[in-house]
Amino acid sequence: MSEDELASTLDDSRRREKKPPGEVLFADELVDLGFLARGGMGEVRRVRDTRLNRVLAVKVLHHELVDDERAHARFLAEAQATSQLQHPGIVAVHSRGELDDGRPWFTMTEIRGRTLAQVLREARAGAADAWNLREQVEALRRACQAVAHAHDNGVVHRDLKPANIMVGAFGEVLVLDWGLARLVAGESAPRERLVETGDAPVTRAGQVMGTPTHMAPEQAMGGTVGPSADVHALGAILHEMLTGELPYGRDADEAWRRVRRGPRPSPIHRTPTGRPAPPLELVETCERALERDPARRPADATELSREITAWLDGARKREQALELVEEADARRPLLDDRARRVAQLREEARELL
């Protein structure tokens, strides 16, 4: 061993000896800053990139999956798919590597904020600062645009749900967790059993993958999955925004049975049922997105985004019109007072004449 190699080995040894308890050594230039979150495939930690003096997030495969070849492949596929989809609504991937124990990792931009699932929970609970329908639908539109970019590049997400959409602190909307993404292909995926992973809704392992409460029927049946499967999942999110409920319910097992055997979800109530009546245009868009026949849904997220954008444009115009009406109503007392003053002055003028 050369002197340089020996010095490098000693440096590596010292660095490992100095590593604080719980710290993970990713790369020489990445300093572990601690745990951020845990997901189905791996955990996310915060790191500092000492070369560029910036804070990033790093996702690393779970310890229990270190010997799982399929999990390794899916994890690396997520890193590659995310890095190749260059869109403001998809988190940028910067680098990847492997730990000493063989677990892969990749770094990405750290996003501070909350998930759309949290936003919708606050809306259901009637929180004082909860988002209104237009704000929720605006976030969905921006998520649709990110998914549309993926569809345009031949990638299907396959696990769209509010928990996988992040709303940043400065208005960003990002679609996360591309671990189940795949290139569009015509082959059918074999059916596999439901694997319980903890809190519902669960994710199915194997070739039939996704979240039962948002999954399209053809995906649940192990059929060919295309962009319209993502449209169905986006439609399920819109259904929750309009009604407060999911089309097949919140119980993962029951949703799994219902989405496989049918029938399609009941029509959305178009009259008030304890909450404001949902806009007819959005109801029709939602029901088309949830059609059991993929051919009857919007073809992809681009088409769905156009329909949502059309409603948002109309909603903004309606809001502007209402603001003008409210402003006119607020000024009415002043106008009435001035009208009375004009009448009084006219009367005084006639008397003087």
Distances (CA, A) of 288 to 162, 249, 285: 20, 18, 5
Phi-psi sector, 210: left (phi>0), alpha (psi -120 to 50), beta: left
Which of 129, 159, 253, 336 does the annotation list as catalytic?
A: 159
- Do 205 and 199 meet the contact criterion of CB atoms below 8 Å apart? no
Among 78, 31, 87, CA closest to 56: 31
Q: What distance in Å separates the CA atoms of residue 337 and residue 294, rounded to the nearest whole number?
A: 62
Instruction: Indicate if 159 belongs to the active site.
Output: yes
* Those residues with Cβ within 8 angstroms of residue 251's Cβ, 6 or more apart along the chain or in another chain: 200
Distances (CA, A) of 318 to 172, 284, 314, 324: 25, 19, 6, 10
Q: What distance in Å separates the CA atoms of residue 158 and residue 75, rounded to the nearest whole number?
A: 15
Among 339, 279, 287, 348, CA closest to 314: 279
Active site (catalytic) residues: 159
